[in-house]
């Protein structure tokens, strides 16, 4: 048995269809600036008010992958949690996320392969009840048993 699994980790043996987990986070100017620095994506639509005002968004927006990172946080911290290995992710960006927006990132179990420890998750992010991101993730879930 693996006794060193972090508290809150959900092992493949305990995952059920329809399980959901979520987090909420306000996307700040600092988040956008840090993401630009880490990713090296300095597109002015994210960083320059004057430039962004003249785009189709009529103002600055967060990086799409910053929003997608919130999905990663739910998967890596909650469902299944620590020890989870990402195998794949699809994403559709449906609407912009702006500085100051409260984003709700949520994942839901939609398929489980217990023999391969694979879990498919429906992934979504919402702002004010409007879906801004949708996709699916496939992950390798931790197990209480050794391989």
Predicted confidence at residue 2, as pLDDT, reads 47
Give yes or no for residue 11 having a pLDDT over 90: yes
Question: Which is more confident, 1 or 97?
Answer: 97
Give yes or no for residue 129 having a pLDDT over 60: yes
Q: Which CATH superfamily is domain 12-140 in?
A: Hotdog Thioesterase (3.10.129.10)
Burial of 71 (0-12, 13-18, 19+ CB in 10 A): buried
Count of CB atoms situated within 10 Å of the CB of 89: 16
Contact 41, 35 (CB under 8 A): yes
| CA 44 and chain centroid, separation | 23
How confident is the prediction for the chain on average, in pLDDT? 95
Contact 60, 95 (CB under 8 A): no
Instruction: Give pLDDT tens digits for 28-67.
Output: 999 999 999 999 999 999 999 999 999 999 999 999 999 9
């Amino acid at each position: 048995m693996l006794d060193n699994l972090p508290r809150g980790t959900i092992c493949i043996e305990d995952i059920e269809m329809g399980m959901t987990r979520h987090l909420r986070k306000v996307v700040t100017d600092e988040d956008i600036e840090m993401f630009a620095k880490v990713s090296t994506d300095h597109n002015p639509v994210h960083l320059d008010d004057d430039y962004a005002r003249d785009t189709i968004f009529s103002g600055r927006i967060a990086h799409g992958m910053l929003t997608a990172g919130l999905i990663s946080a739910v998967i890596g911290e909650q469902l299944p949690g620590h020890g989870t290995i990402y195998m794949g992710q699809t994403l559709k960006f449906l609407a912009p996320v702006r500085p100051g927006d409260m984003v709700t990132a949520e994942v839901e179990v939609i398929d489980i392969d217990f023999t391969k420890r694979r879990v498919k998750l429906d992934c979504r992010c919402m702002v004010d009840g409007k879906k801004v991101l949708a996709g699916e993730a496939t992950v390798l879930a931790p197990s209480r048993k050794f391989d």
